[in-house]
Amino acid sequence: MTTGRPRLSQLSLWDRHVALILDVFRDALHLLAAQGARGTEPDLNRLLYECVLRANRNRRIAGLAALDTPVMWESRNQPSPTTASGTAENKIPDFQCGLIDHECPDPLLSAKAFVIECKRLGQPTKSWNFTERYVTDGMSRFIDVGWQYGKYVRAGAMVGYLEGIALRSVIADVNVAANSNAVPPVSLNGTSTAPLHELVHTLTRAFPESPFQLTHLWVETPGPPPAPAKKRPSKRNPKAPMASTP
């Protein structure tokens, strides 16, 4: 099936790496959706990690390009010559997919990482606005000098776990939050087909590399299971104990 995307053989080393990671994660998110996976963000991320490994193996068996280096789950940003004194090295993206660029002139900058941050996109509660947090605790980490996700590379991704909300409504709400935080709006990247929707935008950053393309993969999930109903205390008086027979 034609996807409109260029073949891996036509791309540079980094671009091939990015294209392959996105292909593997697309496959993995389809597996996740097929499982009807639900839970908290950490629960879903762990399940997604397993789906990534299964999807990568499936691609290998099918004779398709597959990753030869592991995807790292919840690992700290790796050191660089310019992050030793800041907070960025203490930050922990959800996933990192590494690559050594042997052509990089500076060996200390030769380790590249494609970063993927994951967030739930559900109905807001009294204490938590998911679409706002998607921006402030997700997109902004690829821009904020205190986080510096995807430093020294020109692309990264986010995964959104869509929990029973209409796609257009989520896009609108996310873009309102993005505008409030001086982040460019997202827009659909091509045709959108359930259960996976792909969006994209370009960020301007104060650290290399800039501009930076952030791809968003939103997958439809059932959401966390409902909390168990609390048992109401019985209004009936307990039965009086029966008198004992003398």
**Domain boundaries in the chain?**
8-221
pLDDT classification of 246: cutoffs 50, 70, 90: very low
Over residues 152-167, mean pLDDT:
96
The answer to whether residues 200 and 175 touch, using CB atoms and an 8 Å cutoff, is no
pLDDT classification of 8: cutoffs 50, 70, 90: low
pLDDT classification of 2: cutoffs 50, 70, 90: very low
The answer to whether residues 141 and 147 touch, using CB atoms and an 8 Å cutoff, is yes
Over residues 163-173, mean pLDDT:
94
Q: Give the rounded percent of residues in the chain with a pLDDT score beyond 70.
A: 86
Over residues 135-161, mean pLDDT:
98
Question: What pLDDT, on the 0 to 100 scale, is given for residue 9?
Answer: 54
Question: What pLDDT, on the 0 to 100 scale, is given for residue 231?
Answer: 66
Over residues 127-143, mean pLDDT:
97
- CA atoms within 13 Å, Cβ hemisphere of 153: 29
Structure tokens at 32: 């996740």
Tokens 């900058």 label which residue? 109
Helices (H), strands (E): how many in the chain?
4, 7
Over residues 50-59, mean pLDDT:
99
The answer to whether residue 245 scores a pLDDT higher than 50 is no
The answer to whether residue 90 scores a pLDDT higher than 70 is yes
pLDDT in tens, 62-73: 999 999 999 999
Does the global pTM surpass 0.75?
A: yes
Over residues 65-91, mean pLDDT:
94
DSSP single-letter state for residue 63: T
Question: What pLDDT, on the 0 to 100 scale, is given for residue 136?
Answer: 98
The answer to whether residue 170 scores a pLDDT higher than 80 is yes
Q: Give the rounded percent of residues in the chain with a pLDDT score beyond 90.
A: 77
The answer to whether residues 30 and 196 touch, using CB atoms and an 8 Å cutoff, is yes
Phi, psi of 124, deg, nearest 5: -65, 150
Mean pLDDT of the chain: 90
Contacts of 240 (CB under 8 A, 6+ apart): none
Contacts of 115 (CB under 8 A, 6+ apart): 93, 95, 96, 142, 149, 150, 156, 157
